Amino acid sequence: MEFLLFPKKTYYLTQGYGPISYSHQGRYALDVSAAGGGSRAVYAPFTGYVAQVYVNPLDAYTIWLVSDEKVLCADNKPHYVVMQIGHPSEIADFKVGDKFKQGQFLMNDGKTGQATGEHIDLEIAVYDRKEDIRVGFYQNSYGVYGLINAVAPTKYLVLANDTKVLNDVYDGITYAIKTESEVINLEYNTGVYRTLDNIRVRTGPGINYPQKRVECLTKDGQKNATSTNPLAPAFYKTGTLFDALEIYIMNDEVWARTYSGYVNIIYKNEVNCEKI
Ligand SMILES: [Zn+2]
């Protein structure tokens, strides 16, 4: 499952939605620019399609992107997501229905609509049912146009681990966005897993924890060990089914606590166990 990714490789906030919010009155919008040595490039936050395009030379260009599938958000839940991006340059070539893949370059920051400087204005809405998805503007009680059903973006957006945070403070308020590592990936929740290889059983979640001996496993664990020698180092043999009672996610590693000890599910790009 994809994360709902923040659509830039650098995060420099130039306006949030605090009490003094100027053009963001009553809107959950984040303005992000290339200040502080950041990048103007905007990448697809998920795999999806263009649902609407608004190009008017007198106004802020705006584009609405919708995810094909549910994406994992910072609230640890999967949702369908609509992302509205305002003020970009060069979007006239996009057509409704255009498809894109997550991470694909889409556009650059711009200043269409007399914005003060080059930036993008981001809003998102999340949905649990495809048929509820709506795109486009509505005009709020301050007379300001925003995305229909917008929600606080910092509760849902996820920063790719390689995205640089240059400034996430506006008007004394921090608009921190959780990183991929901080968001528990629901694909690796508790439940039953099967080992795809002979997997070490350790005393803790990490390669620095020592491997257990066979005699330290539960009776059931000993039945699944590669060796019957009680003093041998403990491995669950290939095809062992085990209950993951707790999951630990650390950067590119996923570990599980089992009744007999801790086993690795993912180590960097290597998948050692699969969910049943
Ligand atoms: Zn804005």
Same domain, 172 and 190: no
Domain total in the chain: 2
What are 128-132's contacts with CB under 8 Å, separation 24+?
128/79, 128/80, 129/80, 130/80
Of 142, 162, 182, the residue at which a domain comes to its end is 182
Distance in Å, CA 38 to ligand 1 centroid? 17
Alpha helices (H) in the chain, listed in sequence order: 219-223
Q: Please tell me whether residues 40 and 149 are part of one structural domain.
A: yes
Residue 4, domain member (yes or no) = no
9 neighbors 39 (Cβ within 8 angstroms): yes
Clarify whether residues 224 and 243 are in a common domain: yes
Instruction: Based on the fold, state whether residues 82 and 160 are members of the same structural domain.
Output: yes
Closest CA to 91 of 68, 59, 125, 117: 59
Same domain assignment for residues 235 and 107: no
Give the domain range for residue 251. 186-275
C-alpha 60 – ligand 1 centre gap (Å): 10
Predicted confidence at residue 271, as pLDDT, reads 83
Would 202 be classed as within a structural domain? yes
* 131 CA from centroid of ligand 1 (Å): 28
Structure confidence by residue, pLDDT tens digits, 49-106 = 999 999 888 888 999 999 999 998 998 888 999 999 999 888 878 999 999 999 999 9
Query: Tokens 């981001």 map to which residue?
Result: 122
Ligand 1 centroid distance, CA of 12 (Å): 13
- Using one digit for the tens of pLDDT, what is the confidence trace for 145-162? 899 999 999 999 999 988
Enumerate residue ranges in the chain where pLDDT < 70: 18-21, 114-115, 184-186, 269
Write down which residue in 182, 201, 221 finishes a domain.
Answer: 182
CATH number at residue 24: 2.70.70.10
Q: What does the alpha-carbon distance between residue 105 and residue 258 come to, in Å, rounded to a whole number?
A: 42
Q: How far is the CA of 54 from the centre of ligand 1 (A)?
A: 16
In a domain, 45, yes or no: yes
Q: Are residues 74 and 57 in the same domain?
A: yes
What six digits make up the tokens of 135? Answer: 């795109």
CA of 23 to the centre of ligand 1 (A): 6
Q: Is 152 helix (H, G, I), strand (E, B) or coil?
A: coil
Which CATH number belongs to the domain containing residue 247 in this structure?
Answer: 2.30.30
